[in-house]
């Protein structure tokens, strides 16, 4: 990854920070994206790179960030989009529309906007790049009381597949990673009695993203890669 420019959205989060550290170890130039500078400062101090403040659901905000990266680094070779959210617990007939709007915005619109705008940059600059996003098992099949979340992740998966079909012939790979439960402080707090030995470590996701972005993974396009650990 030496001299390649890697943009990581949600860089201040559990998965995003693991991804950033992996690419930093591989010698990449980093663009660490978040909504607030204070959420990124410690990681920037640790890894270096460029902080990028943006709303990943707002095309104008993402376009402005892309222009900043072009001014500083000239290009974006890899986008690791780790932004997402989870909300569930009510049936469709009991819940309002707010949870649906929230999930679709976080999990689907952010993919459509951010991956789309970065893809436009790659197309215009003739960059044979890589775009990788985090999906979820619920993209395949929904369960009770998680309709909004499942629908949003399914939508994100369809966006990924369409972009892969659109960009593959231009040398741009677009793929999704489908993890089971990720070992984070938040999940441990929410599920204190779970067997965490079966959970996915953020570093495992980071390793897979790094592979897909590398020359070794350049022939993979349009794949939803399951990483379910020992579940």
Q: For position 147, what pLDDT does the model report?
A: 95
pLDDT in tens, 84-113: 988 888 999 998 899 999 999 999 999 999
pLDDT in tens, 13-29: 999 999 999 999 999 99
Arithmetic mean of pLDDT, 203-217: 96
Counting residues of the chain whose pLDDT is more than 90, the rounded percentage is 83
179 phi and psi, to 5 degrees?
A: -90, 155
Q: For position 180, what pLDDT does the model report?
A: 87
Q: For position 166, what pLDDT does the model report?
A: 98
pLDDT above 70 for 2: yes
Q: For position 230, what pLDDT does the model report?
A: 63
Arithmetic mean of pLDDT, 192-205: 91
Domains and CATH numbers, the chain: 5-225 (3.40.50.720)
Tokens of 74: 């000239």
Mean pLDDT of the chain: 95
Residue pair 32/44 in contact (Cβ under 8 Å)? The answer is: yes
Q: Give the residue carrying structure tokens 């593959």.
A: 168
pLDDT in tens, 142-162: 999 999 999 999 999 999 999
- pTM confidence score: 0.95
Q: For position 198, what pLDDT does the model report?
A: 86
Alpha carbon of 129 to those of 118, 172, 187, 208, 218: distances in Å?
10, 5, 32, 16, 9
Least confident of 117-131, 159-173, 193-207: 193-207
The three-class DSSP label of residue 95 is: coil
Arithmetic mean of pLDDT, 124-130: 98
Band (pLDDT 50/70/90 cuts) for residue 181 is confident
CA dist., res. 181 & res. 201, Å (int): 9
Which residue from 117, 96, 129, 90 is spatially nearest to 214, judged by alpha carbons?
129
Strands 29-34 and 5-9: parallel
Q: For position 229, what pLDDT does the model report?
A: 73
């Amino acid at each position: 990854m030496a001299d390649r420019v890697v943009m990581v959205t949600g860089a201040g989060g559990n998965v995003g920070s693991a991804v950033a550290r992996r690419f930093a170890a591989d010698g990449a130039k980093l663009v660490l994206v978040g909504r607030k500078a204070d959420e990124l400062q410690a990681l920037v101090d640790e890894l270096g790179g460029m902080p990028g403040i943006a709303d990943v659901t707002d095309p104008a905000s993402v376009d402005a960030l892309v222009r900043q990266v072009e001014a500083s680094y000239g290009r974006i070779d890899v986008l690791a989009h780790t932004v997402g959210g989870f909300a569930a617990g009510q049936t469709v007939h009991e819940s309002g529309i707010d949870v649906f709007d929230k999930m679709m915005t976080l999990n689907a619109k952010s993919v459509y906007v951010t991956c789309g705008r970065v893809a436009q940059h790659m197309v215009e600059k003739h960059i044979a790049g890589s775009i990788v996003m985090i999906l979820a098992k619920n993209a395949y099949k929904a369960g009770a009381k998680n309709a909004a979340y499942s629908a949003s992740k399914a939508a994100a998966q369809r966006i990924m597949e369409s972009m892969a079909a659109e960009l593959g012939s231009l040398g741009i790979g677009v793929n999704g990673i489908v993890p089971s439960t990720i070992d984070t402080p938040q999940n441990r707090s929410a599920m204190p009695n779970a067997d965490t030995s079966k959970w996915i470590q953020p570093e495992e996701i980071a390793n897979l993203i790094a592979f897909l972005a590398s020359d070794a993974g350049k022939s993979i396009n349009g794949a939803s890669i399951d990483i379910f650990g020992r579940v």
